[in-house]
Amino acid sequence: MTHGQAPIVVALDAPDADTAAGWARAVAPHVSVLKVGLELFCRTGPSVVEAVRGADGLGLFLDLKLHDIPNTVAGAARAVAGLKPTYLTVHASGGADMVRAAVEAAPEVCITAVTVLTSLDEAALAAIGLVGPSRDAVRRLAALSVAAGAGAIVCSPHEVAAVRAEVGPDVVLITPGVRPAGSDTQDQARVATPGQALRDGADLLVIGRPITGAADPAAAAARIAASLA
């Protein structure tokens, strides 16, 4: 992380590459990682990565949440490794062999396992057959992924303390569902404030609309960064 920049991943959920690049330039002095998600990547293609990378020195989080048979995930991970993302997401629920396939196919990339989507509440988890409370499901998936070589885990703020206890100090914990106090929770079911998530053991906080939806994204990023200093 660059000195002076906050442990914030800005989700560039933009309608086009130009907008994403503009947001990236605006927030670059204040944050440490830029996230390109599935929708933007599918709409624009891989060229969007270079468009946002104009913001020098920031990490790139390629949030594609790969989930398929191990051979297919390995091929996809190898294909996007050439874009040199810092982090690339896969779904932990794809299983240990799938996670390991991604790790082996893209050894220069920090393979990041998504445990349970922050949009899912307990009722939704039960409906898809994930056994036990979300915290236990997340902890199991995190342990499985780290054993398979994942270097980072995505989990909601509600599980971050339990996951930190499970995986130890060396795994990067990335926490979406973070909302500055007073923000609209929008479509996230399991949320917390940025400060609380960091105190519980998160390394990086994913923040999107509270920054990119602001009238002045640079000022919003600076304000949240200052609140974490």
- Residues with a catalytic annotation lie at 65
Q: Per DSSP, which regions of 12-92 are E strands?
A: 31-37, 59-66, 87-91
DSSP code at position 37? E
CA 39 distance to own-chain centroid = 14
CB hemisphere CA count around 33 (13 angstroms): 25
Phi, psi of 152 (to 5 degrees): -150, 155
Contact indicator for 36, 65 with CB cutoff of 8 Å:
no
Kindly report the backbone phi and psi dihedral angles of residue 111, in degrees, each rounded to the nearest multiple of 5, phi listed first.
-70, 130
